[in-house]
Amino acid sequence: MSNKSKVREWGHSLRRMPWDDHEFQTDTEKLISSTIEEWYLAKHRETSSEEITLINNLDIPACPYCGSESFIRKGYYGDGIQRYQCKLCEQKFSPLTNTIFDSRKIPFSEWIEYLIHLFEFHSITTSARDNRNARSTGKYWLIKVFSVLKDAQSDVTLRGTVYIDEMYFSRYPRDLILKAGKKLRGISRNKICVAVGCDTHGNILIKVERVSKPSNKSTWEAYGSHIKENSHLIHDDEHSHGILVDKLHLTESVYPTSETKQLKDEENPMDPINDLHSLIRTFMREHGGFSRDDIQDWMNLIWFILTPPRNRYEKVRKFMDLALSAPQKVRYREVMYKKVSDNH
């Protein structure tokens, strides 16, 4: 079966018209059908020669199955991708084996468009609609993105003048704790605390504390390894911030919320961190139904979007390079069926 025939088969349900089974179709129906077909094929092109060249030029350090560095070229797959075979375990593999693109059925061109939409704060639903993909495909790809960015913030270090402040997300409606049939008020167990930090060098940090109210322990775990000693800390006088000042020998400037909440942005010394909070909330509003179990994954994604490079095409290139070099195999059945079972 040709690549174009496979594309037609995979995307058939997305292009099925109400009149497909009719013996006779009107001219209007035929026009609509042909137009949708044309749109779909334009969005789902065959694998390009540039993609094949990129994949075949990838560095293969070792067998993805056993780690042996002894392997040989073993011809090509039907789409022109180089095949290898390990001399030790005798497994055959391609340059994409054990990456998020393993067993791909859709060319990279769609991934590029998907990533551009994602990095521009589009929702998964609108992106899937524009790409002529099933919404489940968008969700599956998002899980793959999460897997690539899992440890993205591990090396973040805030230094110099550092701003920190916490923000909160409500738990999913079905998980809310009620008292006399009413939601708990204020910072309660129905809130998830997210530690947010930035500095004057452009570094940012977004870490979930997994608590409703910050404590010395949760604050230290979130920020402790990410702030350079002897930096200057600007914060809102949250009591638990004191552990950072003490342990990291920080100087500090304290601006309680009660004193800054009425100030204009340009007058508010906490404005840099407030801007970051606003951007995070703007992004998450596009994904209002997100699973709270995945909230750190979402924060990693936002961190990646808000950090350099600023150019969207350079950012896509950076992500693709990370994905192609990272052993992050994600199987549809394993992750999507788990999502379904977790939601029931």
Q: What pLDDT digit, counting tens, does each position of 133-153 carry?
A: 777 888 888 999 999 999 999
The confidence score (pLDDT) of residue 9 equals: 41
Residues 265 and 214 grouped into a single domain: yes
CATH number at residue 201: 3.30.420
Does any domain span residue 300?
no
The confidence score (pLDDT) of residue 316 equals: 93
User: Which domain does 236 fall in, by range?
Assistant: 161-289
The confidence score (pLDDT) of residue 127 equals: 73
Residues 124 and 170 grouped into a single domain: no
The confidence score (pLDDT) of residue 334 equals: 60
Residue ranges in the chain modelled with pLDDT below 50: 1-12, 184, 340-341, 344
pLDDT tens per residue across span 98-131: 898 887 777 787 888 889 888 988 877 777 777 6
Residues 252 and 331 grouped into a single domain: no
Residues 233 and 171 grouped into a single domain: yes
The confidence score (pLDDT) of residue 291 equals: 80
Residues 177 and 225 grouped into a single domain: yes
Per the structure, the count of domains in the chain is 3
The confidence score (pLDDT) of residue 151 equals: 93
269 in Cβ contact with 234 (< 8 Å): yes
pTM, 2 dp: 0.78
Residues 146 and 166 grouped into a single domain: no
Does any domain span residue 270?
yes
87 in Cβ contact with 68 (< 8 Å): yes
